[in-house]
Structure 1
Amino acid sequence: MRVIEITTPGGPEVLRLAERPRPEPGAGEVLVRVVAAGVNRPDVQQRRGLYAPPPGASDIPGLDVAGVVEAVGPDVACAGVVRPRPGDAVCALVTGGGYAEHCVVPAPQCMPLPTGFGFVQAAALPEVFMTAWNNIIRLGRLGEGETVLMQGGTSGVGLAVIQIARHLRRARVFATAGTAEKRRVLAGFGVEGTVDYHGDWDTELRTLTGGRGFDVIVDGQAGPYTARQMDLLAEDGRLVLLATHLGTRAEIDLRAVVRRRLTLTGSTLRPRPPAYKGRLAKELVDQVWPRLADGTITMPICATFPLEQVAEAHAVLDANAQIGKVVLVVDPAGL
């Protein structure tokens, strides 16, 4: 099968089309013929040598796929949303291996395509919506009518967080974005207030909330942002870190954490076991998939590229130019 390999840590040019043997599904796994695969920020970090796959995972990048089940391994039961069978159209979160013509997937992580969705649309869903759900609902414990800040709102995860918060918790949502165009897009998604993260964003956001701050903040920058965000939390507020792009260390006021009952937590979903991801998949299919099907929730696709143009796809993310998701078309004949 054709796959994309990372030849050495570096820029998009280190991604190479190669041939490898087709994998076989093991216990509790299925083999999916990949039609389309999502391109995500963790793929970029893996390419740069900053985010190694967990032990036992494929070194091939790619965390979400959409395609057709071709084979089923032993001991596949209905541990998640469905019991996948050969011929089923599915989308799935994987721990690696998505940039390939075939991918092995733990059965609990397989989800049906939302009604009316094709493979390209469905490939844009698993990683961003599972990440968003895990962070805003499970870790952030977002309650009805609370106030949310999403740092970098036009990323795939950002748009998923914003829509889950608005449509499933009726939250007031605020976000940051680096360009006027992106801030206009966020306004179209119902974001109440947006600010430019290049400026004095914490002061502006504090003003927008009348000084109250936020119940939940979701952020992937960390580093020097951390203390500023802790100061922006309301009492009993929760800061959820997706990543540490601006640095791995921060100085925070622990007395304020104790006095104001604040929570600082982190999230790395990739090494979590299939059973955990299967529970997330079920919650998504029950609560988010119907809203995708009726158009209440959407995930814009910024661009699509054939598998052999994967370097161009990564260049879009390197330039921080995407709004929504970038998708690789692995099997054009399967569309």
Structure 2
Amino acid sequence: MSKIVRFHRLGGPEVLQIDDIEVREPGAGEVRIKVRALGLNRAEAMYRSGQYTFTPEMPAILGYEAAGTIERVGEGVTGYVVGDEVNVIPAFSFADYGLYGELAVAPIHALVRQPQGMTSVEAAGTWMQFITAYGALIDIGDLQKGETVLIRAASSSVGLAAIQIANMIGALPIALTRTSEKRQALLDAGAAHVIATQEQDLVAEVSRITGGKGARMAFDPVGGPEVANILRALCFLGIFFQYGALDTADMSIPVMEVLGKDLTIRGYQLFEITQDPERLDRAKAFISTGLENGALRPLIAKTFALEQIVEAHRYMESNTQIGKIVIEI
């Protein structure tokens, strides 16, 4: 029997409960992992509350990221053996797999060997954030040295990852945050500039920073009416990535701005990368290089025990953290 986090109804963090259940043996192309740490993600809160892209079947498991040790291997598994330290990246559906627990089954296409020199806590908080940012900025957007990228919700784990990736390639990351409260923390995290959108004129500030040219790219998990000003701050042929919906209201689009600058507005999910083997391999290589040379490093906001999963989700939804929240087992 193993302690597994599940929920039996939709709702807030309080619906999460720890059940003692028997975790199945791994099937073909799968491994079973003794989990040491779990990374928390907004998608899991959305799934738990019924705001995700599909409705859970109860009782539901969840969890996209984990670090641990392979405890069993299924039929046909090659390249991995019992005892290997691995990380699990989001490359599957919650309908099929979930990692919140002491033991978890995962498909081998979602595995990566744990980088040397990283703790399980750091590793569990690495792959979702860096692959998400890499996919938009590098794989699709082809961000180049000297170009400017606007990073909204910059104090989130993905926002911080985007700052680091931009710096790694010599681009200029501008952090967007609602107030000045997190300004110094974002500068310390590598942001070249910080704009508090509720206190400053976003378009005027971007114009000043870029010498009137505008930013080449924007990376946004929020959406809503503020999108209009972000689009106004982009340059000719700029690209806007929407990778989340923290504000579920319809986005405001200034049509003449889009037409006049030939802007691209693009929806994006990391599964576009993680479910394509070639693109995922390139992402792993890019991120591994950054981890090895120190250009990339996850910032851990706080750790919790598995028994504190409800408190951990409440903390995630408080929006007060800077960096990744991790459950340590």
Where 1:304 maps in the other structure, the secondary structure is strand
Where 1:246 maps in the other structure, the secondary structure is coil
Partners of 1:55 and 1:15 lie apart in 2 by 13
Match of 2:295? 296
1:305 maps to amino acid: F
Partners of 1:22 and 1:135 lie apart in 2 by 35
Partners of 2:145 and 2:58 lie apart in 1 by 37
Partners of 1:219 and 1:274 lie apart in 2 by 19
Partners of 2:111 and 2:236 lie apart in 1 by 38
Per the TM alignment, residue 46 of structure 1 is displaced from its structure 2 partner at its CA by 1.7
Per the TM alignment, residue 320 of structure 1 is displaced from its structure 2 partner at its CA by 0.6
Match of 1:184? 184
Partners of 1:110 and 1:267 lie apart in 2 by 22
Per the TM alignment, residue 74 of structure 1 is displaced from its structure 2 partner at its CA by 2.8
Q: Map residues 55-70 of structure 1 onto 2, 5 A cutoff.
A: 59-70=60-71
| C-alpha contact 1:124 1:301 (8 A) present in aligned 2 | yes
Partners of 1:274 and 1:54 lie apart in 2 by 22
Instruction: Point out which structure has higher relative CO (alpha carbons under 8 A, 6+ apart).
Output: 1
Where 2:118 maps in the other structure, the secondary structure is coil
Per the TM alignment, residue 11 of structure 1 is displaced from its structure 2 partner at its CA by 2.2
| C-alpha contact 1:37 1:65 (8 A) present in aligned 2 | yes
Partners of 1:54 and 1:131 lie apart in 2 by 23
Partners of 1:300 and 1:257 lie apart in 2 by 35
Percent of pairs with identical residues: 33
Partners of 1:224 and 1:193 lie apart in 2 by 23
Instruction: Compute the TM-score of the two structures, normalised by the length of structure 2.
Output: 0.89
CA deviations on 1:203-247 (whole Å, 9 max, x unpaired) are 333333333211110001112122222211111111000112223
Q: Map residues 220-235 of structure 1 onto 2, 5 A cutoff.
A: 220-235=221-236
Count of residues in correspondence between the two structures: 322
1:186 maps to amino acid: L
| CA distance 1:92–1:53, shift in 2 (3 Å) | farther
2:248 maps to amino acid: G
2:235 maps to amino acid: A
| C-alpha contact 1:34 1:102 (8 A) present in aligned 2 | yes
Match of 1:333? none
Partners of 1:323 and 1:244 lie apart in 2 by 19
Partners of 1:55 and 1:311 lie apart in 2 by 18
1:121 aligns with 2:122: yes
Per the TM alignment, residue 291 of structure 1 is displaced from its structure 2 partner at its CA by 2.7
1:195 aligns with 2:195: yes
Alignment RMSD: 2.4
- Of residues 77, 80, 85, the one that matches 1:84 is 80
Where 1:132 maps in the other structure, the secondary structure is helix
Q: Map residues 72-151 of structure 1 onto 2, 5 A cutoff.
A: 72-77=73-78, 83-94=79-90, 95=92, 96=94, 97-151=98-152
Per the TM alignment, residue 266 of structure 1 is displaced from its structure 2 partner at its CA by 0.9
| C-alpha contact 2:26 2:32 (8 A) present in aligned 1 | yes
1:93 maps to amino acid: I
Partners of 2:35 and 2:266 lie apart in 1 by 34
Per the TM alignment, residue 275 of structure 1 is displaced from its structure 2 partner at its CA by 4.4
| CA distance 1:255–1:74, shift in 2 (3 Å) | farther
